[in-house]
Amino acid sequence: MTANQPEYLHGIRLFNQGKFFDAHEVLEDIWRAAPHGEKKIWQGLVQVAVALHHHSTGNRVGMRSVMVRAMKNLAEHPPNFHGIQVPRLLESLTQWLEAFDNHAPLPSLPRIDVHQRNV
């Protein structure tokens, strides 16, 4: 991470590398320090990381419960939040959860896309 790069980009990189527990730790610190109006979206991002961590440990019930709450928190925010492409993430989460619920082959793990120029 460079000195000019916001800490949340480090958390997103960890998330996109499948290091969900580590991503949750980084993003949780940002959520706690976030202004009131941003808390829900940061919480949603933390919850997605937690849900996918639960999935990686075989906790199917915990994964689904946290994922649904995460998607509700993310749905309440602008489409481009600090460069994060929220609609793209929600679409990926929806497809992933539908496959999970239908016992279908799971698509690739969801990723958080960020457009750096908007950061």
Is residue 31 in some structural domain? yes
**Which DSSP letter does residue 78 get?**
-
Distance CA 27, CA 35 (A): 14
pTM of this prediction exceeds 0.75: yes
**Which DSSP letter does residue 114 get?**
B
Each residue's pLDDT tens digit, 1-57: 334 458 899 999 999 999 999 999 999 999 999 999 999 999 999 999 999 999 999
Domain that holds residue 30: 7-102
Each residue's pLDDT tens digit, 84-97: 999 999 999 999 99
Domain count, the chain: 1
Residues paired with residue 84 on neighbouring β-strands, in sequence order: 81, 114
Is residue 49 in some structural domain? yes
Is residue 89 in some structural domain? yes
* Residue whose entry in the numeric block shows the structure tokens 């999970």: 100
Is residue 117 in some structural domain? no
Is residue 38 in some structural domain? yes
Residue 17, domain CATH: 1.10.3450.10
